[in-house]
Amino acid sequence: KQWYQRRVRGLLRSCQQTVFLEIIHAATGLTKTSTLTTTLQVVGRAVVLFSVVDAEPELQTSLTCYLLMVAWSAVEVLRYPYYVVQIYDLYFPKLMWLRYTIWIPLYPIGIMCEAYLVYQCIDMVAESGRLTLALPNKLNVAFDFSSFLKIHLALICFGGASLMKYMGSQRSKAMKKLAKLKQMEDIYYKEKDLIKIRKKKESKKAL
């Protein structure tokens, strides 16, 4: 609990709030990502962070919570520099490879940790009645937060599978693009070497 409250909580909350800008970036074409996929991922993380982990101190001490923070952070450390590179049309092949490879171990870890934390939170919410609105009330509306979490748990499983499938297709495209860029790079350096050889031959003839 101490490591989360003292070292992680404030920074993580600020970062997650800022991440909502990604939806606007995707919608306006600033980043070349799916708006729907980005929206689902951002909102899903917000639900897990603000209404599950941040609201239940018991979950903050678990290894699952720690692994989730590591998985989320490790993905973003590579994703954002890659977006910057893409905006300025720069070429960093190693960064591109890492961006579309690092998710292979990290996404499953993150999805399983999210699902397990939500699963644990369901019983806690059912017992405490947190964020639950029962009838009768002035609004005449009922809301059971534990039922909402059950639905969200199902969405994590199905959405996670869809997300990994989407990332798999994106990786295939990226690797093909990377191979073409590598070929172009090899051709460029070969032509550069040929030019150097020609210049040397011309200089020898001149002598």
Angle (nearest 5°) at CA 98 between 170 and 73: 100
Structure-token pair, residue 47? 């639900």
120-154: buried (b, 16+ CB within 10 Å) or exposed (e) per residue?
A: bbbebbbeeeeeeeeeeeeeeeeeebbebbeebbe
Q: Which residue has the tokens 């960093």?
A: 92
Residue length of the chain: 207
Active-site residue among 4, 22, 56, 114?
A: 114
Contacts of 28 (CB under 8 A, 6+ apart): none
Active-site residue among 82, 107, 119, 166?
A: 107
Active site residue 4: no
Active site residue 22: no
- Smallest CA-to-CA distance from 47 within 86, 4, 16, 85 is with 16
How far apart CA 67 and CA 69 sit, in angstroms, is 5
Contacts of 6 (CB under 8 A, 6+ apart): none
Active site residues: 107, 114
